[in-house]
Structures are given as structure tokens and as C-alpha cells.
Amino acid sequence: MTNILYLLNFVGKGGTEKYVLDLIQAVGPENCRFIYSEEGPGLADFERTNVKMFQVKMNGPFDIRAAKKIKQIILAEKVEVVHAQFLRENYLAILAKMMGARSKVLWTYHVDVPMGKAIRSFNKIMTSFNHKVITVSRFMYQQLRIKGVSTAKMKLIYNGVEGPANQHRVSNLGKVPVISVIGRLREEKGQAFLLKSLAVLRDKAPNIKWECHIYGEGPQKEELVSLIHELKLNTFIQFKGFSTEKDKLYLSSDIVVVPSSNEALSYVAMEALSYSRVVVATNVGGLPEVIQHGETGLLVKYGNLEELANALHSLLINQELMDKLSSNGRRYFDDHFTLAKMIEETIALYKH
């Protein structure tokens, strides 16, 4: 296998890091190199793979010193493919290529961020040197077109996750169905939107039992605790903290809500489908590519409290609908979002 160099500025514990770790394990750590700039909470996960690592400070996308160091590592390690994860790293890899590092450069566009006119102009020039630019959803494909990347350079490869071997259909709701929301406690993840909708649901259907589990940690926790008190939802809500036990997390949930204001493509939505959980998601970003309304889950408009409350109510009173969405969702996952499919398509780009 070709030597692959992965570039990542900050090593957190999010979806991007998971994506790189999955590829390192698939390619084989002995065939990979990893350059990072800033240490973060996910660094230990990379160290456990035994991949050869280098720290290079990357002070912006035009840091010539960093580009020179990256070039030296590419040449010394006989790297044939560089796989960058964000714009900064992609530009630095291309600068290294311009300086004489003869390697293919791929860039995966994970997070949709605003780009001014100057960056859009630079994108036209810089990404012309990319072997390919991977987009993780059709939504992101369209965003990159707007941001100056040629469609000839782009390749749509959906992110993938490893789901359980067996299906776990939600064929019977328990006495107290569990509605779960999973993700970092940040404003854009929409936990506050969900809580306000749950207050509407409680008032709309006071006789229907349910509870909500909030998984994750983050800067908005105190604000969410205050909101729960304000909405008088204390008896309905449980904070579960950060969990790595996916089986326990998903199998103890009946409905998984993805209430985000912005999502390129949601790992949570894909994982929930893999466990045959029923998903209610906002109609934003790449989410409609995972959740087909009425077929693999339900979609609602972000911020519409009544619509989200009604969607949850329709599921809690309709076991037939739950069963249909549960089985359809798993089938759709198997066809589109498996980890094996994502790895196979990405490695094919490395080779060709």
C-alpha cells in the first residue's frame, strides 16, 4: 500500500478525527504518517494506533515555514498521497507540492464554513493542484462549487460508520419511551431547540409518557440546565454525559433527535439508522440525504417548535410508523453509509 500522510491542525475528538482514525486502521498504521499542529483531547487515540507522528506548527494556510517542513517529511518518508482535512492543511500541502514534494494531495471538506471572496478566488487556483476534493454530502458538493472548486476535482464519498451486525428494530415502545439527543453541548447542535419543543409536547399531550436523555458535554450545559428548570422539565430530562458505549446508548433509545442548525453530514444520524433507531432531524445541510422524510425518519424545520413536537407526538402514538421507519432506516444505512463502503471508495482515490 502507498504511504499516506494525514494532515490535521487540531486533534480533537470529533467526526473528523474519527474519519482519519478509521482510514489509518483500514490502510494500516505502518503505511501511514500523521502530522498535526495543536495537541488536543484526541491525540491519545492516534498514539494508540502506533502511527508515525510529527508535530508541525501550522500558523495559517500560507505558512511557508510549515509548508517547507511538510515537504521535508513527505520526501523523507516517501509519501505518495497527502490527505488533508481542512482548508489550512490543504493549502499547506499544495504549497509543499509546489516546492517539490511530488505527492498527490486530497482534501476532504468536512465542515461548511463561510469563505470570503478572496478565499473563493484562492480556491480556484489552489484546488487546481488537488488530485481530488472529497465532499461528504451533495450539500457540501454544492457549497464547494459556490466556493470556487471545480466540479472536475470533486468526488462525493459519504462518510460511513460501522454499525451492529444485527438489526434491532423498534417493534415495541417501552412503558416510558426514550428520546435521545447525542452531541457536544453547543448552540449549533440544537439541544435548546429540542427542549423547548419537548415543553410543547408535554403541554400538547400531557398523558403521553416519555423521557429525554441528553448525551454529551460542552460549554452550553449550564444554560441548558437553567432552561430545563425554566420550562419545568426536570422530571423528564436526564443528562447522561459523554459516552463511548454505542450499543448501550442507542439500544436504550427509541427515538434519536438530531436538532442541529447546521450539519454537513451527521454521524449520529447514520449511527442511529445502523441501530434501527427512529430519527427525527432538522432539514439542514446534508441531513436530508440521510433522513428521507416519511421513509427513513422524519424531517422538521430548524426552530419550528410545534413541528418538532408534532413529529415526536406522531411517533409516540403510532407503533406502525415507528416499525416502518426503523426497518427502512437500517436498510438505507446498509445501502449508503457503511464504513466499508466509505473506505473502499476513498482508498480507490489513493490508488488512481
Domain assignment of residue 280, yes or no: yes
Domain assignment of residue 322, yes or no: yes
The 10s digit of each residue's pLDDT in 139-171 is 999 999 999 999 999 999 999 999 998 888 887
Same-domain pairing of 31 and 12: yes
Domain assignment of residue 122, yes or no: yes
Residue 28: per-residue pLDDT? 97
Same-domain pairing of 43 and 155: yes
Same-domain pairing of 124 and 200: no
Domain assignment of residue 251, yes or no: yes
For 111-115, 126-130, 221-225, which range has the lowest pLDDT when averaged over its residues?
Answer: 111-115
CATH number at residue 95: 3.40.50.2000
Share of the chain above pLDDT 70, in %: 100
The count of other CB atoms within 10 Å of the CB of residue 233 is: 16
Same-domain pairing of 230 and 300: yes
pTM: 0.89
Domain assignment of residue 168, yes or no: no
Residue 311: per-residue pLDDT? 98
Q: What is the DSSP string of 66-113?
A: HHHHHHHHHHHTT--EEEE-SHHHHHHHHHHHHTT---EEEEEE-S--
The 10s digit of each residue's pLDDT in 240-250 is 999 989 999 99
Domain assignment of residue 173, yes or no: no
Same-domain pairing of 119 and 221: no
Let me know: does 155 contact 130? Beta carbons within 8 Å: no
The 10s digit of each residue's pLDDT in 168-195 is 888 778 889 999 999 999 999 999 999 9
Same-domain pairing of 239 and 346: no
Same-domain pairing of 183 and 320: yes
- Nearest of 299, 328, 326, 319 to residue 177 by alpha carbon: 319
Residue 1: per-residue pLDDT? 60
Residue 2 scores a pLDDT above 80? no
Owning domain of residue 236: 178-336
What ranges make up the beta strands (E) of 142-228? 154-156, 178-182, 211-215
The stretch 73-97 carries a mean pLDDT of 98
The 10s digit of each residue's pLDDT in 6-22 is 999 999 988 899 999 99
Same-domain pairing of 14 and 154: yes
Residue 31: per-residue pLDDT? 97
The total domain count for the chain is 2
Domain assignment of residue 204, yes or no: yes
Domain assignment of residue 167, yes or no: no
Same-domain pairing of 237 and 134: no
Residue 298: per-residue pLDDT? 98
Residue 90: per-residue pLDDT? 98
Question: Cα–Cα distance between 303 and 182 in angstroms, integer?
Answer: 18
Residue 69 scores a pLDDT above 90? yes
Same-domain pairing of 188 and 324: yes
The 10s digit of each residue's pLDDT in 8-65 is 999 998 889 999 999 999 999 999 999 999 999 999 999 999 999 999 999 999 999 9
Q: What is the mean pLDDT of the chain?
A: 96
